[in-house]
Amino acid sequence: MLSKTKNGKMASSKRNPLNRETLLTHLGRRPDEQHGLVNTPVSRASTILFPDLETLQERSQPYLYGRTGNPSSRSVEEIVTALEGGKGTRLTPSGLSALSCALTSVLSSGDDVLVTDSAYEPTRKFCDTFLTRMGVSVRYYDPRIGKGISSLLKPHTRAILVESPGSLTFEIQDLPAISSARGQGDIAIIADNTWATPLFYKPLELGADIVVHAGTKMFVGHSDASLGTITANEKYWHQLHETHYQFGLCAAADDCFLAARGLRTLAIRMGEHRPRALEVARWLENHELVKRVLHPALATHPDHALFARDFSGSGSLFSFAIPRAPQAALAALFDGMNLFGIGYSWGGYESLILPVDLSENRTVTAPDKDEQLIRIHIGFEDIEDLKDDLDAGLRRYRSAMG
Per-residue pLDDT tens over the stretch 219-265: 999 999 999 999 999 999 999 999 999 999 999 999 999 999 999 99
Q: Which of 67, 154, 235, 309 is catalytic?
A: 67
Q: Which of 174, 192, 303, 310 is catalytic?
A: 192
Segment 132-151 shows an average pLDDT of: 97
Whether 370 sits among the annotated catalytic residues: the reply is no
Whether 335 sits among the annotated catalytic residues: the reply is no
Q: Which distant-in-sequence residues (6+ apart) come within 8 Å of 51 by Cβ?
A: 61
Whether 120 sits among the annotated catalytic residues: the reply is yes
3-state secondary structure of 89: strand
Share of the chain above pLDDT 70, in %: 96
Amino acid code (one letter) for 2: L
Query: Cβ(82)–Cβ(23) under 8 Å?
Result: yes
Domain parsing of the chain, residue ranges: 2-264, 266-401
Whether residue 101 has pLDDT greater than 80? yes
User: For residues 130 and 113, what is the distance between their CA atoms, to the nearest angstrom?
Assistant: 13
More confident residue, 266 or 70: 266
> What is the structure's pLDDT at 7?
44
User: pLDDT confidence of 36, banded at 50, 70, 90?
Assistant: confident
Share of the chain above pLDDT 90, in %: 78
Q: Which of 74, 120, 144, 303 is catalytic?
A: 120
Q: How far is the CA of 217 from the CAs of 141, 234, 258, in angstroms?
A: 26, 26, 12
Segment 204-233 shows an average pLDDT of: 97
Distance of CA 66 to the CA centre of its chain: 26
Whether 67 sits among the annotated catalytic residues: the reply is yes
Segment 320-325 shows an average pLDDT of: 97
Strands 188-192 and 157-163: parallel
The burial class, CB within 10 Å (0-12 / 13-18 / 19+), for 79 is buried
Q: Which of 74, 158, 202, 217 is catalytic?
A: 217
User: pLDDT confidence of 47, banded at 50, 70, 90?
Assistant: confident
pLDDT in tens, 62-85: 888 878 888 889 999 999 999 999
Matching CATH number, 266-401, of 3.30.1050.10, 3.90.700.10, 3.40.50.300, 3.90.1150.10: 3.90.1150.10
User: pLDDT confidence of 34, banded at 50, 70, 90?
Assistant: confident
pLDDT in tens, 103-124: 999 999 999 999 999 998 999 9
Q: What is the value of pTM for the model shown?
A: 0.91
On the question of a common fold for 2-264 and 266-401, the answer reads no
Instruction: Reply yes or no on domain 2-264 having CATH 3.20.20.105.
Output: no
Whether residue 347 has pLDDT greater than 80? yes
Return the C-alpha torsion angle 376, 382, 384, 390, nearest 10: -30
- Among residues 372, 370, 390, 373, the alpha carbon closest in space to that of 382 is found at 390
Among the listed ranges 45-59, 137-151, 288-302, 305-319, which one has the minimum average pLDDT value? 45-59
